[in-house]
Structure formats: structure tokens, C-alpha cells
Structure 1
Amino acid sequence: MKRIILAIVNLLANLKILTPIKVARLKHFYKFHKFPNYEHPKDLNEKMNWIKFYGDTSKWANLADKYKVREFIESKGYGDTLVKLYGKWDSVEQIDWESLPNQFIMKMNNGSGDVIICRDKSKFDIESAKKRIAKLFSIEYGVTTGEPHYADIKPCVIAEELLDATHQPIPTSSLIDYKIWCFNGKIDYIWACYNRTPEGTDVGVYDREWNYHKEFSVFTHHYREGKQIIPKPVCLDKMIACASKLSEGFPVLRCDLYEVDGKVYFGEMTFTSLGGFMDFYTQDFLNMLGKEVDLSIDKNYRGE
């Protein structure tokens, strides 16, 4: 029954019968079995959605755009964290496959998790990649998750250097994604994700002193508890400094970084993690992080 309800909500969203805020309210109810209080938000999910629908999101589209955000990172003095860019194209037909090196990774500038990895160009199926990219171009990202700012991102596909996941603190099947929670430059917690596949990922919450906090997570078949504690990143101080600088002026955002061979790399900036319906944290932790979000710095905030 729940799957049928979700399918109906997605259908009505795609048909533009439901407004984004109605989609968000229904998605929240689907996840948590209660309607959210966006008008008087308390926890992290509610406050992210308050900003999404009532706050100043004028910069969100450019900063959530995985291509355009590169200019912002440069302007903040962290251009050295950008992964090498091989190309950017506005359609499948424009992609210059000949110019790409033997290894690379391709992604949409407005997508989430939909990456195409080439480890050996001589064995890479270009025709299959073309079909997959064409399908990604056809998706109106954000419609079924109540994230209207994605509609302002002009889709494109980019190719970047493939970072080596074997050059990390522990052996993992994917890069360790250090997802840093930022509150107007203040950093307290980092959510680490690794061994990622379409079926799930290992996760864990750490504080800025790198103490592990199992009690903050709700583990599921998709969000699994990692089998070991990740060693403290060598570049943790630089990661925190980078995320702090990038998040200045924003009530809340998540800054995703990597560490490979002792070097920090920028991943992306996210303003609405999981659409603002995060169910992989305990309610106590969501409440705790919600208290860190100061909505008064948003120019549209008028008080309770």
C-alpha cells in the first residue's frame, strides 16, 4: 500500500497537479507518519524545508549545480580542492569521447548518485553510456522530491578525473564521502559514507574531534553501520576550514569532501539532504541539529 501511495504522489508531482510544498508535506508524512510543521520548524528536516519554501534560495541553484559551483569554490580560495575537469557538454551529441583519457567519471550537474565510471577506455561501452546519459537528461530532477530550485539548473554532463579509492585510510569499494554539516560556518558533525553501491552504503556519524556516535544513526538495509571505525582523516582540519568558509552566510548546508593521498577534494554542496526527509538519523539528533540552524540570518525570516 505504501508503494502505491508513493507512486500516486510521484505521478501527481510529475503532472504538476501537486505543488512542491504539497509534495514535501506528503513525502514527510510517508517517511515519518506525521505531517511536518514548516511554519514553525524545530528539527533539521523541517528547518531545511522552511528555507526551501519560505527563505532566500536565490543562490541555491548555482551552488547545487556541480559545474557552476566550481566558480564559487575558486572565489573562496579553495580552487585547489576541485577535481580536474575534462569537459562539459549540454547534450549527449556534444560529448567529445576522443578527448577523454583512459579513466574518468561522468555525472550530471543536477543529479544525485548517477555516475558513469570508466576504468579502462578500451573496454568502455560508449553506446551504453550515451543511452544512460540521454535518459538522465530527460529527468526533471527535484519534481518528485519537492525541491523546486533544481528546476533552475540547466542540465549538462561533466567528465572529471577518476579519483583512486584505494589511496584512502581504509580499503573501501568507493571513495569515503565526508559529508560535513555546516551552520553558517559552524561545524560540529560529519557523516561518513563509504562502500557505496546502488543497494546501499556503510555510514557513521563523527564529531569534529573524530569521536564516533553510533547513537545518532538509524541503520537500515540501505544505510548500514560500518564494520569498522574510520581513522581520523589526515586533512580533517583543512576539511573543516574549507566547509566552514564555504558555508558562511547560509543557515544550513552539507558540504561533501573527499581525502585521497592526503589531499582534500571538493564533492558538492547540498541544501536539502535527501530532499529534507532524512530518516537515517534519530529524532533526537535531528532535533539537536535543528537547534543549530539560525533562521534569523535568512533575509526572509520574520520571526515566530
Structure 2
Amino acid sequence: MSNPNLKENKLKRFFGVMLRKPIKAISPTLYVKLQYRYITHHKLHLSPPVRYTEKLQYLRLFVYPKWKEVSSCAGRATVRSYVAEKGYGDALIPCLGVYDSFQDIPWEEMPPRFVLKCTHASGWNLLVRDKSKVDRKEEEKRFASWLHRDYGKETMERHYSPIKPQIIAEEWIGDPDHLPVEYKIHVYNGKAKNLYVVTGRGEDIRYTELTIEWESFDG
């Protein structure tokens, strides 16, 4: 006997994929509202935004696309200059190089383990745990596709669109089998207010919002 819930979920996914592009083209705000409702199960209020996550969506739609410094800080390569100028260059993961294409990477000169990231996107990465086992032809195709796509337009995060599409190579940090836990500290008017903790990167990834006192935080 067929499962009606399964059919309903498949139908929702089908229409979600079919309608995504036209909704983005007609109304970015409507797209973000639908996306927010789907992810958080809350209605998105923008006039004015109240919840922390609502304020992020307001910035995403109306502020960040016009703010050049935000684009510079979103770029995986350009942010390094910004951080160094502020006196925190020693906190950066060592960079192995920045390349215009996958073919430009000097593979034989690279260390056994490293990470490749597209500079103009989030999540378009390759974790090279053992370079001798990488299918370079396949990865070349994948990165060529990524470098020709406008991540900002696809995700309605327009501050990514001005960033030059390149590939940055960074040293592998942590042990060979697991990536370290990430701690993102959110600062408001110079004061740390909450934490965004990412565990299981590259495996079973999980995201947790905490207050600065390490208590659960519902944004």
C-alpha cells in the first residue's frame, strides 16, 4: 500500500524545484519568505524584523547587496586581506595559493592533505584527505561548473555576486580523519552576544546556536 505522506513530500519537492527559479526572478523577497518559513516554521517579519534570524534576512535582502565591504569579507580570498589589515593575520589558516582554474593548481607541489574552496561561494569545497586518491578529471569538471555559476544569484545572497570566482587552497587543520569544531562568534556593536557552533563538518554536520553563556539560543 502506498504512503500518502511520501507522495505528498515528493510533490512538494517537485514543485519546490520547478518554482524556485521563477519565484527568485519575480520576487526575491517572496522567495526568502518561503525559504524562511520552510526552514524555521515561522512567518518572516521584515517590517520591522524582530527575531535575530529575521534581521539576518533583512540584511541579506536590503543591506548587504549594496555594501562593498560585506562582499570583500564574504570572499574566501579577499577576506584574508581585510583580517590582516585589522591586525589578525596570525589567526588565518595558512594559504597555499589562489588559482583561476583547477588546472592551475600545482598538484605535485601540494601537501598530501589540503582543502580547496571556491572564493565566491559557501559550501563549494573539496576536502583533499589524500591527494593520491583524488579523481582529478572529475574534480576539474566540478570546479569548472562552480566557477561559471553565480552563487549569489542562486541563493539570493547577492553580496556574493561581485566576488571574483577563483579557487583558494588552504592547509588542512586538525587531525587527518576529522575537521575541527567551528565556533562563530556573533558580535553586535562591539559586544559578543551569541555563538554559532558547527560540528561534524564533512561528515554528519550539525549547527547549534548558543548564548555567550553557552545556553541554548532560539533565533
- Whether TM-score is above 0.5 comes out as yes
Matched, 1:76 2:80: no
Q: What TM-score results when the alignment is normalised by the length of structure 1? A: 0.61
Matched with 1:46 is 54
Structure 1 residue 205: Cα displacement: 4.1
Q: Per-residue displacement from partner, 1:58-88 (whole Å, max 9, x unpaired)?
A: 3111110010000000011100011111111
Q: Could you tell me how far 1:35 is from its partner in structure 2?
A: 4.3
Q: Which has the higher contact order (CA 8 A, sep 6+)?
A: 1
Q: Which structure has greater helix proportion?
A: 2
Contact kept? 1:191, 1:206, Cα under 8 Å? yes
> What is residue 272 of structure 1 aligned with on the other side?
none
Q: Is the 8 A contact 2:121 2:160 kept in 1?
A: no
Q: Distance in 1 between matches of 2:20 and 2:100?
A: 27
Q: Output the CA distance in 2 between the equivalents of 1:10 and 1:64.
A: 24
Assess if the C-alpha contact under 8 Å between 2:102 and 2:143 holds in 1. Answer: yes
2:102–2:140: 8 Å Cα contact kept in structure 1?
A: yes
Change (3 A) 1:131 1:88: same
Alignment partner of 2:83: what SS? helix
Q: What's the counterpart of residue 14 of structure 2? A: 4
The verdict on how the C-alpha distance between 1:112 and 1:53 changes in structure 2, with shifts beyond 3 A counting, is closer
Label 1:203 to 1:46 Cα distance change in 2 as closer, same or farther (>3 A). Answer: closer
- AA aligned to 1:186 is K
Amino acid at match of 1:68: T
The residue aligned with 1:222 is none
TM-score by length of 2: 0.81
Change (3 A) 1:121 1:52: closer
The share of aligned pairs that are identical, in percent, is 29
Alpha carbons 1:23, 1:144 under 8 Å: kept: no
Q: The residue matched to 2:37 in structure 1 has which SS? A: helix
Instruction: State the aligned residue count.
Output: 207
**Of residues 175, 179, 188 in structure 2, which corresponds to 1:183?**
188
Distance 1:90 1:184, change over 3 A: farther
Are residue 109 (structure 1) and residue 119 (structure 2) matched? Answer: yes
User: Would you say the 8 A contact 1:191–1:204 is kept in 2?
Assistant: yes
Letter in structure 1 aligned against 2:189: N
- Rate the CA distance shift 1:48–1:83 in 2: closer, same or farther, 3 A: same
- Counterparts in 2 of 1:145-164, with a 5 A limit? 145-164=155-174
In structure 2, do the counterparts of structure 1 residues 31 and 41 end up closer, same or farther at CA, with 3 Å as the change threshold? Answer: same
1:111 Cα deviation (Å)? Answer: 2.3
Cα offset for 1:37?
2.2
In 1, distance between residues paired with 2:55 and 2:156? 14
Aligned pairs for 1:85-164 within 5 A: 85-164=95-174
Q: Which runs of 5+ in 1 are unaligned?
A: 167-171, 217-284, 287-304
Which of 8, 17, 37 is 2:25 aligned to?
A: 17
> Which AA in structure 2 matches 1:193?
V
Task: Determine whether 1:26 maps to 2:34.
Answer: yes
Unaligned runs of 5+ in 2: 1-10
Query: Which of 15, 37, 44 is equivalent to 2:45?
Result: 37
